[in-house]
Structure 1
């Protein structure tokens, strides 16, 4: 694995931070490359060295968070739903500005759809329709229900500026997942 130059990482981090900050001020479509350049304190040319355009920057930012959530899912595979949810809510808490911008402000509807599709993938293996209360139900319906509910609760948490601690959110989400996936 090749080592990435710290300057490159620093520039990319500055650009990712800049796009989130700018989205708190204006719609993503109204953000210009010059706005990003000014906020991140880099030249326009530097932006184009790293990203094709502002959409590529946003896509890569979104994918980096989805990939991190995926890694956390893999790490939580042997845990119960509450412990697994705690890993996620800690990540939501530590990346509050990103998730609140993407979910609470409706600033990037693409993120919500990408997050929902990611949850469909993750919950697909968790739902069992061969026994218990889900027996005989359509697996796709249950998976979509659970994933949509999860996104809805997380959106509520960000929209209402964390009305309960992330630990309580994890406990309640985990309990609801246990009730609906087994």
Structure 2
């Protein structure tokens, strides 16, 4: 693993933070590289050194969070649903500003699409090994049902200011998953 220069890492974090802040204030289409540059207190050249354009920046930011969620899934792959959900909801809480901005922003439909695709991959194996009451039902329909429910509950929780702590969400959602898978 190569060591990243701290100045580069600091600049990239400032750029990402600036984009999220700007997206919470206005439509993504209205944000310019100059806006990001001004907010991050870096030159436009610094932004272009790391990203092709604002779309590339947004894509990389989303990919970073999806990748982290994938790492969480790997780490808890053997756990029961309740225990497996806790790190997820803790991660969502820790990065509340990012997720609330992505879910509320009309400029970030790609986030929701990538989130759904990620969850489909994560739940696919669970659905493929169904036993009991869901056995015999169409796997595609079950998968869409589970993923849509999961995305919906995450959106509801984030957009309502996280009315319940992560451990309550993990327990409740885990129990629902156990009942349906």
Same fold (TM over 0.5): yes
**Greater displacement, 117-126 / 128-137:** 128-137
Deviation, structure 1 residue 105: 3.9
d(CA) in 2 for partners of 1:173, 1:50: 38
d(CA) in 2 for partners of 1:164, 1:102: 20
Corresponding residue of 1:66: 66
Are 1:164 and 2:159 counterparts?
A: no
TM-score, normalised on structure 2?
A: 0.97
Deviation, structure 1 residue 106: 4.1
Corresponding residue of 1:93: 93
- Residue pairs, 1:16-165, within 5 angstroms: 16-128=16-128, 130-165=130-165
Residues 6/55 of structure 1: CA separation in 2 closer, same or farther (3 Å cut): same
Structure 1 segments unaligned to the other structure (5+ residues)? none
User: In the alignment, is the contact (CA less than 8 A) between 1:16 and 1:57 conserved in 2?
Assistant: yes
d(CA) in 2 for partners of 1:130, 1:51: 43
**Greater displacement, 18-27 / 158-167:** 158-167
**Greater displacement, 41-50 / 169-178:** 169-178
d(CA) in 2 for partners of 1:146, 1:169: 16
Corresponding residue of 1:176: 176
Deviation, structure 1 residue 104: 3.3
Are 1:3 and 2:6 counterparts?
A: no
User: In the alignment, is the contact (CA less than 8 A) between 1:129 and 1:136 conserved in 2?
Assistant: no
* Equivalent residues, number: 181
Q: Deviations over 1:129-152 (max 9, x none)?
A: 652011101111111110110000
User: In the alignment, is the contact (CA less than 8 A) between 2:29 and 2:107 conserved in 1?
Assistant: no
Q: Deviations over 1:55-75 (max 9, x none)?
A: 000000000000000000000
Partner-residue secondary structure (3-state), 1:2 = coil
TM-score, normalised on structure 1?
A: 0.96
Q: Deviations over 1:43-89 (max 9, x none)?
A: 00110000000000000000000000000000001110011100100
Aligned-residue CA RMSD (Å): 1.1
Q: Deviations over 1:117-167 (max 9, x none)?
A: 100000001125652011101111111110110000000011111111121
